[in-house]
Amino acid sequence: MKTIIRFFALILSTSVIFTSCAPTGNEGSKNGALTGNAAEKVYVAPGEHDEFYAFISGGFSGQLAVYGLPSGRLFKVIPVFSVDAEKAYGFNEETKPMLNTSHGFIPWDDSHHPDISQTAGELDGRFVFINGNNTPRIAKIDLTTFETTEIIEIPNSAGNHSSSFVTENTEYVVAGTRFSVPYPQRDMPISEYKGNFKGALTFISVEPEHGHMDIAFQIMMPGFNYDLSHPGRGSSHGWFFFTTYNTEEANSLLEVNASQNDKDFIAAINWKMVEEYVKNGGGTKAPANYAHNVYNEDTHTATSTMKKEVVVVDPTEVPGAVYFMPTPKSPHGCDVDPSGEYIIGSGKLAAEITAHSFSKMIKAIEEKNFDGEAYGIPILSYEATLAGSVKQAGLGPLHTEFDGQGNAYTTFFISSEVVKWKLGTWEVVDRKPTYYSVGHLMIPGGNSRKPFGKYVVAMNKITKDRYLPTGPEVTQSAQLYDITGEKMELLLDFPTVGEPHYAAGIAADIVAKNSRKIFKLEENKHEYAISNEGEAKVVRNGNEVHIYMSMIRSHFAPDNIEGVQVGDKVYFHVTNLEQDYDVPHGISMIGANTSELLIMPGQTETFVWEPKQVGVWPFYCTDFCSALHQEMQGYVRVSPKGSSVPITYTLDGDEL
Ligand code: CUA
């Protein structure tokens, strides 16, 4: 047995590509030669718009990128967990607080699973949520501005991976820990992991009107690894499902030691029951320390608050709320079909895909059809919840999505393919190779009651020879398939920014109509905003110099500034006075150890410059805004520390 496990572990960890072992039945050549009209199907003529938005996470880039489907064109990289010099995110004073955590300012994370907000089980296009794995955080992106407006840190969690999936009315966005850790965190021997570490499953409430996030409660589960999750929907609304692995609770050489058990579990959580329990005063208010960062669109400024308490729930104290469903074997993906009846577990080391039945699960609970317990949590009998399994479908099943027509699509990492199969009959109907080693896949709306169908995007882990080489590091890549027919059809390869870990897609017309064009100047409540050039000024306060600056085609006010000294902290508070769509301006300062600012119409941003050298130093507009963009410039005169040169500046060509 151990030999087999080692073999699987070897296959899983190797970068060798097993395209040649893809099961037969593939149309087209090994290189994915296309049928005649594929180009037509992805061609979006100049000036025309795509049919879908695809929000594809950047994995280790920490960001979320916006593409159009079917063209695969990249529209925007939304900075979320990583600093971004292009947009000044994490560089300007307004957004620095967004990256604050209990570990201080963290300029990077690993972003994995975007999920779009829902109403009544359908995508409403208001927000995208996404998890940061490394320093556990959940972010919210507002789809009127396509900007990150809230980030909440997750205490008692580590490798925040079974996140960030939303319930069908966006009651909660859920964050589950990948790594179990000591709870509370403390200095203890790692060898005492078993029985002492805990896995926190965190339910973050989302306030309906503005989407404000708050940690409602954390369920302290046994010390397994919680890998992925999905909410129930329809009949199973009120439940949440999490895959587990390492139910062995090994702490070393997991590739072998966490692959011993024939079955791990899918944890089924009745969150409505836990919610009720907490509402009635259940749970423990435990000390914690985590950051809650909120960007205010009126002040164009973020604030960070450290929160000190979280409600912790022991699952054994809420009988009937938590069960384990045995699932072969180190399952990764945990996916729920549009009806909410089937819960699909994909065992990485299993040769089959397991489907549990929600109605059978309820029956098994009622009949107490248990097969023991783990840390006081009942284990349901495997046969009692099993709806069926897809046999011999491929090697290394990972993730499943649905088209809303009764079909499921599962990725196979090792055999590098997407397999289409039928819910209920469990028969395989089609398979297509991916290039190469596919991880997640995405069907727009695939995690809702009403998938849009039409396309599936495969997100690949390996690119190899698919594009022109660019040295040892090649582009990351996704592939688009047409799924409108009985057989899937490969339409397009497109490069992605960062690792395309997972994605969420939505019909463009739901989102596009709400997209903001400008920020209204009269609504700008930034502390240092000005509403016209007459209000521009320069104010010294000790060694701080505050410049209240405006920008409009094609000049800054003020432009020349004198009286700054070496050792000063110079704050450029810059307001873009434009009120037309798509007229940003930028500003950059020589020697500033930050980024330029790219400021949208009606917005104010701030950067700090600490001049180190005496001289006269220019600044300029970084965005080609008009025919006279090159004339959009100014100077700052920097005198020695203690100089008697007074603060003066020019407005409209007059020195003040
Ligand atoms: Cu303003 Cu270029």
Quick one: which atom of ligand 1 is closest to the CA of 584? Answer: 1
* Rounded Cα distance, 166 and 447, in Å: 9
**What per-residue confidence (pLDDT) applies to 34?**
64
Q: Which strands form 377-380's sheet, in the order they lie side by side?
A: 225-231, 239-245, 264-270, 322-327, 377-380, 370-374
CA of 652 to the centre of ligand 1 (A): 17
Q: How many CA atoms lie within 13 A of 169 on its CB side?
A: 9
CA of 596 to the centre of ligand 1 (A): 12
**What per-residue confidence (pLDDT) applies to 350?**
83
Element (H, E) at 345: strand 342-347
Residue 449: name the closest of 126, 124, 127 by CA.
124
Q: At 653, is the pLDDT very low, low, confident or very high (cuts 50, 70, 90)?
A: confident
Quick one: which atom of ligand 1 is closest to the CA of 630? Answer: 2
Q: How far apart are the first and last CA of the chain?
A: 84
* Rounded Cα distance, 263 and 274, in Å: 26
CB 554 within 8 Å of CB 621: yes
The pair of three-digit structure tokens given for residue 127, joined into one six-digit string = 């927000």
* Rounded Cα distance, 74 and 503, in Å: 14
pLDDT above 50 (res 6): no
Q: Which residue has the tokens 């556990």?
A: 136
β partners of residue 423:
none
**What per-residue confidence (pLDDT) applies to 33?**
54
Q: What is the pLDDT of residues 566-583, one digit of tens each?
A: 999 999 999 999 999 999
**What per-residue confidence (pLDDT) applies to 410?**
97
β partners of residue 605:
574
Q: What is the pLDDT of residues 27-82, one digit of tens each?
A: 444 445 566 789 999 999 999 999 999 999 999 999 999 999 999 999 999 999 99
Q: 3-class DSSP state for residue 653? A: coil
β partners of residue 550:
557, 575
* Rounded Cα distance, 343 and 505, in Å: 21
Residue 409: name the closest of 357, 361, 444 by CA.
444
Cβ-proximal residues to 226 (8 Å cutoff; 6+ apart), any chain: 161, 162, 176, 177, 178, 199, 201, 242, 243, 244, 267
pLDDT above 50 (res 218): yes
Q: In 23-67, where does DSSP find H-type helix? A: 38-42
Q: What is the pLDDT of residues 164-202, one digit of tens each?
A: 999 999 999 999 999 999 999 999 999 999 999 999 999
CA of 624 to the centre of ligand 1 (A): 5
What is the CB < 6 Å shell around ligand 1?
554, 585, 621, 623-625, 629, 632
The counts of H helices and E strands in the chain are: 7, 47
Residue 174: name the closest of 113, 125, 126 by CA.
113
Quick one: which atom of ligand 1 is closest to the CA of 624? Answer: 2
**Which DSSP category does 531 fall into?**
S
> Is the Cα torsion angle 136, 173, 400, 40 positive or negative in sign?
negative
CA of 89 to the centre of ligand 1 (A): 19
Cβ-based neighbour number of residue 308 at 10 Å: 11
Quick one: which atom of ligand 1 is closest to the CA of 623? Answer: 2
Lowest mean pLDDT: which of 32-46, 248-262, 621-635? Answer: 32-46
Q: How far is CA 453 from the centre of its chain?
A: 22
CA of 592 to the centre of ligand 1 (A): 19
pLDDT above 80 (res 628): yes
Q: What is the CA radius of gyration of the chain?
A: 27
Cβ-based neighbour number of residue 334 at 10 Å: 28
Distance set, CA 244 to CA 1, 184, 201, 264, 527 (Å): 21, 21, 12, 6, 48
Q: Which residue has the tokens 């037309």?
A: 580
Q: Answer whether 0.75 is exceeded by the pTM.
A: yes
**What per-residue confidence (pLDDT) applies to 215?**
98
Q: What is the pLDDT of residues 310-354, one digit of tens each?
A: 999 999 999 999 999 999 989 999 999 999 999 999 888 887 899
Query: Does the N-terminal peptide bond of residue 481 adopt cis geometry, omega within 30 degrees of 0?
Result: no
**What per-residue confidence (pLDDT) applies to 32?**
52
Q: At 444, is the pLDDT very low, low, confident or very high (cuts 50, 70, 90)?
A: very high
